[in-house]
Structure 1
Amino acid sequence: MFIKGNFLYTPSRKELTIRENQYAHIENGVVTGFMTELPDTISSEKVIDYSQDIIIPAFVDLHIHAPQYINRGFGFDEELLPWLEHYTFPAEGKFADPVFARRVYSAFLKRLKAEGTLCFSAFATIHKESTWQLMELAEAMGFKAYIGKVNMDRNAPDYLLEDTDRSLADTEELAVRCREELHKVRFIATPRFVPSTTEQLMTGLGRLCETYDLPVQSHLSENRNEVAWVKELHPNLPSYTAVYDAFGLLRPEKTIMAHAIYLSGKEKSLLRDKGIYLAHCAQSNANLTSGIMPLRRNLEKGLTCTIASDVAAGHTPAMNKQIALTIEVSKLYSLQNDTEKALTIGEGLYLATKRPGRFYGRTGSFEKGYAFDALVIHMNDIEGLERTPFEKLQQFIYDGDDRNIIARYVDGVSC
């Protein structure tokens, strides 16, 4: 198959490639190369011409809470811990009902697809059956995803408090079932955060991760009160990051930690050396008055950072809006820190496509050998007003929405 259009993608954080009026060749769902003219030997291969529209890699969101979709926009007068108590936990308690869960998760996935997020890593809830509903639905709709059953056996309301052994058994059951029955959806161990998981539970999860080679997702140093709480719970360990490491939950190149705002130099070195993915949630951090990750400084120190939505603390799953807000926050941060250069459009695209895509595999770029996971975007809303492909990209990031996405591809298949 050949697809013609204006392709924009980021082979590296410092490189934005723009291929105007070129043909991408896709074979078995994978990009094999680009050309400016069709070869004479194309025979019966399909050719799709998107004319002057731009084509970018589909978005990848490595930190989102699927059940919290029903709460987006709620409770932002609160900070993290009271927000969880007053809004998040009551909402997640409703997912004890698999019928309700299926209804919400269907709406959640339809919204993700509409907004162009075709690969993601999501928290579900503690409920085994409802989590499986989300996994089955995501597989049926063609997503690439990591999905995890949340683990919580302390510091939670009674209706979300798990028995430790039951939590581990349900986790193992889902990990095995996912491996046997699903293809594009994968299981990820999901301790909610240190305050809600006992040492026994974290030890058990670490063992399951070793046994089944599972990745991990959780939260790290989002809020000052949360950080202080972790210190009270684990006074003999030097840091929040060290707690995860002590229980085998910082798996090299296979762990996503969201937020990571308040980190010491030693913590950053550990996270860098292990290749931990740090999901930067600028909108969420602003909404809950959590703080600002020093993104540029972390990138320059070699930490692996990505842009994520963190719905529902982030109020929209639209990743173009998350890129825009991340750039805006970085500009404000740079005003207070003379050595901090603001994020660029190209860097924002990279942190929402190729960099997080590497957690899943070869997705998030149009380089040779990468899966053709793509969005076709139409931005000409005024006849006769010509824009360059890069100008169209900028306008989509700041003011585009699902109505501008006219086609979506996963592994070269329209979806």
Structure 2
Amino acid sequence: MTDSTLILGQTLAFDGNPFAEGPRAARHNVRGGVLLRDGRIAQVGDGAELRASNPQATVIDHGQSLISAGFVDAHAHYPQTAIIASWGKRLIDWLNSYTFPEEARFADPDHAADIAGRYLDLLLAHGTTTVASYCTIHSTSVDAFFSAAQARWMRAAAGKTCMDRNAPDNLRDTAQSAYDDSKMLLNRWHGVDRLSYVITPRFSPTSTPGQLSALGMLWAEHPDCLMQTHLSEQLDEIEWVKSLYPQSRDYLDTYEAHGLLGARGLYGHAIHLAPRERERLIETGAALIHCPTSNTFIGSGLFDMAGLVGQGARVGLATDTGGGSSFSMLRSMAAAYEIGQLRGNALHPAQLWWLATAGSAQAMHMGDMIGNLLPGAEADLTVIDLASTPAIAQRAARADDLWEALFPTIMMGDDRAIAATYVAGRPVPRTNG
């Protein structure tokens, strides 16, 4: 008989989308259990019943801690790990002062491997089990990231960042080399174990029309791949795009005209969208990735969650490391709540948690595999201590329901709130700190 593990604790899953159905879309069991077998979730239900019907299972009891699907970070830059929380002004200043000098170091395979391992270990310590990351222009950076993710059995998505203008000479490729290198890396890694290649033009200002067309061609040849880029993050960036692409109707059109608009596209930020852009993104089913800590840290603006979701947009949540100021999806949830408040829309804890799990998984077209406690899904879990600090504990003690108990952790929690993390059914060893 196949070995199985029964994880006991409170459980939180989703039967629907809380943006459409409210908190009733969530399924909470105070004495729940999750049965794991062969790296997947075999059953979810009442803990005592699962224990009685699976007497052979190894039992791990997390008490009153909350068992959830692992967090899914839909937009990040792992090469920026070492420069997170660097003082800066605007986006372009930050890129030139910190990002580009650091990314140049990733030509060194040893440096790339060191940062990749460090980054993924930080994610796991914060309860994040899946990420979509930008690499650098160097193939070594992609190999290092996927090798590190593979060694940790993680589901991960990433791609070579392509830039052939408006970047330092040592960080530029060409239209042809971007296509060739991306195709080579795609053939090497896409679909291997739990890895997915993502076609990755950084953004229109750092790519010529020729490079965008080459990457659009690659995407057409491999339509099962995701494509990730940046869109309408800051107003001065938008003006820069207009000067570089005077023939384009808007920022989105710089991608659309070159075959880089589609349902499997992940468009980071998407704050300052024109009406046509909103309509086309929703019409095509593309995903908009909200990066709230980055948006406040770099002063970009306030994402219109209520308006976009109300129009039917697909939205995911992300840290945007290292423009974002934290590796924690808890902090991203808190910042999303704060930005919603500034726009007059108080996001419910169910909506925030859904964004960080099932919502981001669906944005990445992985909702059938990760992001929810569902039989048959991959067993990536995070276990949340709802009393991880004295401040959180004293507030949660007054809670009348799950959401009052969980919200203090969303607003004040960090890696101390992560009681355990499971990847493909395997507990991740805890590290000091």
Q: For the superposition of Structure 1 and Structure 2, which TM-score range results when normalised by the shorter chain?
A: over 0.9
User: Which of the residues 155, 163, 169 maps onto 1:144?
Assistant: 155
- CA deviation after TM superposition for structure 1 residue 395, in Å: 2.3
Hey, what does 2:45 align to over in structure 1?
Answer: 34
Residue identity matched to 1:376: V
Hey, what does 1:337 align to over in structure 2?
Answer: none
Aligned length: 406
Inter-partner Cα distance in structure 2 for 1:400 and 1:328: 15
- 3-state DSSP class of the match of 2:267? strand
Q: Does 1:160 align with 2:171?
A: yes
Deviations, residues 96-125 of structure 1 (Å, cap 9, x unaligned): 111111111221111111011110100010
Residue identity matched to 1:71: I
Inter-partner Cα distance in structure 1 for 2:243 and 2:417: 49
Deviations, residues 204-260 of structure 1 (Å, cap 9, x unaligned): 1111112223210000000111111111222222111122111111122x1100000
Q: Does 1:345 align with 2:343?
A: no
Hey, what does 2:13 align to over in structure 1?
Answer: 9
Q: What are structure 2's unaligned runs of at least 5 residues?
A: 429-433
Hey, what does 2:431 align to over in structure 1?
Answer: none
Inter-partner Cα distance in structure 1 for 2:346 and 2:405: 21
Hey, what does 2:246 align to over in structure 1?
Answer: 235
Hey, what does 2:86 align to over in structure 1?
Answer: 74
Residue identity matched to 1:404: A
Hey, what does 2:407 align to over in structure 1?
Answer: 394
Q: Does 1:221 align with 2:225?
A: no
Hey, what does 1:58 align to over in structure 2?
Answer: 70
- CA deviation after TM superposition for structure 1 residue 30, in Å: 2.2
Q: Does 1:100 align with 2:133?
A: no
- CA deviation after TM superposition for structure 1 residue 134, in Å: 1.0
Q: What are structure 1's unaligned runs of at least 5 residues?
A: 335-340
Q: Does 1:87 align with 2:95?
A: no
Is the 2:153–2:424 Cα contact (8 Å) retained in structure 1?
Answer: no
Q: Does 1:187 align with 2:197?
A: yes
Is the 2:8–2:60 Cα contact (8 Å) retained in structure 1?
Answer: yes
Inter-partner Cα distance in structure 1 for 2:324 and 2:299: 12
Is the 2:358–2:367 Cα contact (8 Å) retained in structure 1?
Answer: no
Hey, what does 1:260 align to over in structure 2?
Answer: 270
Q: Does 1:377 align with 2:388?
A: no
Is the 1:98–1:130 Cα contact (8 Å) retained in structure 2?
Answer: yes
Q: Does 1:365 align with 2:372?
A: yes
Residue identity matched to 2:63: S
- CA deviation after TM superposition for structure 1 residue 44, in Å: 1.5
- 3-state DSSP class of the match of 1:189? strand
- CA deviation after TM superposition for structure 1 residue 198, in Å: 1.1
Inter-partner Cα distance in structure 1 for 2:328 and 2:134: 17
- CA deviation after TM superposition for structure 1 residue 130, in Å: 2.2
Hey, what does 2:334 align to over in structure 1?
Answer: 324
Residue identity matched to 2:59: V
- CA deviation after TM superposition for structure 1 residue 41, in Å: 4.1
Deviations, residues 280-335 of structure 1 (Å, cap 9, x unaligned): 1111111111111111111111111122111111111100011011101211221x
- CA deviation after TM superposition for structure 1 residue 69, in Å: 1.0
Hey, what does 1:291 align to over in structure 2?
Answer: 301
Hey, what does 1:414 align to over in structure 2?
Answer: 427
Q: How large is the Cα RMSD of the aligned pairs?
A: 1.9
Inter-partner Cα distance in structure 1 for 2:151 and 2:34: 27
Change (3 A) 1:41 1:222: closer
- CA deviation after TM superposition for structure 1 residue 389, in Å: 4.1
- 3-state DSSP class of the match of 1:52? strand
- CA deviation after TM superposition for structure 1 residue 374, in Å: 1.2
Deviations, residues 349-389 of structure 1 (Å, cap 9, x unaligned): 11110011122342111134333321112234669957554
Hey, what does 2:418 align to over in structure 1?
Answer: 405
What stretches of structure 1 move > 6 A for 4+ residues in a row?
none
- 3-state DSSP class of the match of 1:38? helix
Is the 2:129–2:154 Cα contact (8 Å) retained in structure 1?
Answer: yes
- 3-state DSSP class of the match of 2:410? helix
Is the 2:32–2:44 Cα contact (8 Å) retained in structure 1?
Answer: no
Residue identity matched to 2:215: L
- Percent identity, aligned pairs only, is 31
Is the 1:280–1:293 Cα contact (8 Å) retained in structure 2?
Answer: yes
